[in-house]
Amino acid sequence: MVSLGYCPEWFFHQSIGLELVFAVITLLVAIFSFKIYNLSKEKKAIWFGTGFLLFSISYFIQSILNVGILYRVSETIQLVQQASNVINLGLTALHLHMILMITGLVILTHTSLKEKSLRNFLLLLAVTITPIYFSQNAVFLFFVISSILLGFLTLTYLLNYTANKKFNTYLVFSAFLLLFLSNIHFVFSFTDKIFYVIAHYFELFSYLLILTNLILVLKK
Total residues found in the chain within this entry? 220
42-71: contacts with other proteins (CB under 8 A): 42, 44-45, 48
C-alpha gyration radius of the chain: 18
Q: Contact with other proteins (CB under 8 A): which of 169, 174, 182, 183? A: 169
Is the Cβ of residue 39 or residue 80 nearer to other proteins in the bound state?
39
Question: Could you tell me if 36 and 42 are in contact, meaning their C-beta atoms sit under 8 angstroms apart?
Answer: yes
Does residue 109 belong to the site contacting other proteins (CB under 8 A)?
A: no
Q: Look at residues 198, 103, 191, 190 and name the one whose alpha carbon lies nearest to residue 149.
A: 103
Does residue 220 belong to the site contacting other proteins (CB under 8 A)?
A: yes
Of 35-43, 77-85, 92-100, 127-135, the window that binds other proteins (rule: CB under 8 A) is 35-43
Q: Give the C-alpha separation, 139 to 2, whole Å.
A: 11
Strands (E), the chain: none
Q: Give the C-alpha separation, 43 to 17, whole Å.
A: 33
Does residue 113 belong to the site contacting other proteins (CB under 8 A)?
A: no
Does residue 33 belong to the site contacting other proteins (CB under 8 A)?
A: yes
Does residue 39 belong to the site contacting other proteins (CB under 8 A)?
A: yes
Is the Cβ of residue 129 or residue 155 nearer to other proteins in the bound state?
155
DSSP 8-state class, residue 117 = -
> Looking at this protein, which amino acid is placed at residue 181?
L
Question: Could you tell me if 189 and 5 are in contact, meaning their C-beta atoms sit under 8 angstroms apart?
Answer: yes
Does residue 213 belong to the site contacting other proteins (CB under 8 A)?
A: yes
Is the Cβ of residue 14 or residue 160 nearer to other proteins in the bound state?
160
Q: Contact with other proteins (CB under 8 A): which of 84, 85, 88, 164? A: 164
| Cα–Cα distance list, 27 to 6, 7, 36, 44, 204 (Å) | 26, 25, 14, 17, 15
Does residue 80 belong to the site contacting other proteins (CB under 8 A)?
A: no
Residues that bind other proteins (CB under 8 A): 32-33, 36, 39-42, 44-45, 48, 111-112, 156-157, 159-160, 163-164, 166, 168-169, 171-172, 213, 216-218, 220
